[in-house]
Amino acid sequence: MARRARLVIPGVPLHLIQRGNNRQACFFSERDYLVYLRMLHACAIDACCAVHAYVLMTNHVHLLITPEAPHSPGMLMKALGQRYVQYVNRRYGRTGSLWEGRFRSCIVDDEQYLFICQCYVELNPVRAGMVDHPVHHAWSSYRANAEGAVNALVTPHHLYMNLGRDSNERQKAYRDLFEQELPSEQVDFIRRATNGNFAVGDMPFIKSAAEVLEKYVTPRTVGRPRRW
């Protein structure tokens, strides 16, 4: 069976995850994280993708981006994956694959789910038990979004810019989003959508995305196939 094409709409945020092969480690030293972030910055510019949030875990990566073109996410991840694997293989004298095949992704209703997805991404180290607050994880966008740390990789979404009249107000409003844990149903919703290549959003967004893409954007129910 042919693989279903990824859902990508230019100008619509995309949450994606790429895991290490067999869930093995992808980063082995502080230098590796720094090299990956430099490569991500360069590749995102080349592929015309704005990076709003990210987190680098030991064996996988989460990104929240907005692509300018349908091919932008694939272009970004292909170039980034190849460059980083070459670096790792040279540095550690290894061969073979590093990543687990294709990356997984979901389109995101920015009006309803942008900040939920950003929190989901930046709270990954907390859910994994690595830290008790996202500020303590060095390899994420949290400090850029919540504290104004200089980070050329992060491009604020326009809804982030609407959080306040100045940077202090925006950062305070963003920090307030982390005062409560994400409900488990929202975490599960994002996970299922990302793993299944579906959409995260309310019904008007789901309907609009399905019409634009001319394909289903949510899991299909058992029965006769439905055409859009």
* Beta bridge mates, 108: 200
What is the token pair recorded at 184?
């488990």
* Range of the structural domain that residue 43 is part of: 14-208
Q: What is the pTM of this model?
A: 0.94
pLDDT digits (tens, 9 = 90+) for 36-75: 999 999 999 999 999 999 999 999 999 999 999 999 999 9
Domains: count for the chain: 1
**Cβ partners under 8 Å of residue 26, min gap 6:** 20, 32, 58, 59, 60, 61, 84, 88, 98, 99
Residue 135 lies in a domain: yes
Cα(226)–Cα(228) distance, rounded to whole angstroms? 7
Residue 189 lies in a domain: yes
* pLDDT of amino acid 79: 97
Helix or strand (DSSP H, E) at 194: helix 184-196
What is the token pair recorded at 25?
């480690």
Q: Would the pLDDT of 5 be above 50?
A: yes
* pLDDT of amino acid 226: 42
* pLDDT of amino acid 2: 54
Cα(88)–Cα(184) distance, rounded to whole angstroms? 35
Residue 214 lies in a domain: no
pLDDT digits (tens, 9 = 90+) for 91-124: 999 988 899 988 999 999 999 899 999 999 999 9
φ, ψ of residue 149 to 5 degrees: the values are: -60, 135
- Distance (Å) of CA 210 to CA 5, 90, 194: 13, 43, 16
Please give the single-letter amino acid code of residue 159: L
Residue 6 lies in a domain: no
Residue 36 lies in a domain: yes
pLDDT digits (tens, 9 = 90+) for 113-169: 999 999 999 999 999 999 999 999 999 999 999 999 999 999 999 999 999 999 999
Please give the single-letter amino acid code of residue 20: G
Instruction: Name the residue with tokens 């299909």.
Output: 220
Task: Please tell me the number of Cα atoms within 13 Å of 26 on its side-chain side.
Answer: 29
CB 143 within 8 A of CB 32: no
Q: What is the CATH number of the domain that holds 123?
A: 3.30.70.1290
